[in-house]
Copies of this chain bind each other. A is one copy, B any other.
Amino acid sequence: MSASFEASRRMAEFERECRRRGLSLTVQRRVILEELIARRDHPTADQIYEGVKGRLPGLSRTTVYRVLETLVEVGVAHKVLHHDAVVRFDGVTERHHHLICLECDRLIDLEDSLVPDVHPPDAGPTGFSIRDYSITFTGICASCQQPAERRRWQSN
């Protein structure tokens, strides 16, 4: 399955969901979702803004924030939790996990297939109904294990 096919499938899913919910299909929403799907990193709202402003003259940062929030509500994007107090977004909505380097804070995706299934606990007493999960593995990334030379990363 090619990346572009996957992208258009996701876009179609988004359009369908918008109609179902009575949300307008604006250029901004489409372009921002495209950008998010195309990127394999975990961009911040501002990085998305930088990435799409060429294609959307006059675009406002505010709109990027609002659109990203919408995409999350609709379910075509996820928020990623990183400890830098900046919200990051993920266009990959299939279940996957994260590796976070304790040294440089780099965040790497990990396919779900590499991780044994977790049987979600009953959470019985709390009455919490579990829908999905994601595992955050902490450790040291390859570059930070090296003898402290040439390890610079654009903070992901």
Partner-B contacts on A (CB < 8 A): 79, 81-83, 85-87, 99, 101-102, 108, 110, 114-116, 118-123, 126-142, 145
Contacts and interface: CB of A to CB of B under 8 A. Distances in A.
Contacts of A129: 139-140, 145
A124 B81 CA distance: 24
Q: How many copies does the complex hold?
A: 2
Contact of A121 (B114, B122, B127, B140): B114
Given A110-B123, A114-B123, A137-B120, A130 B99 contact: yes
B137 A135 contact: no
A137 B142 contact: no
Given A85-B86, A115-B121, A137 B130 contact: yes
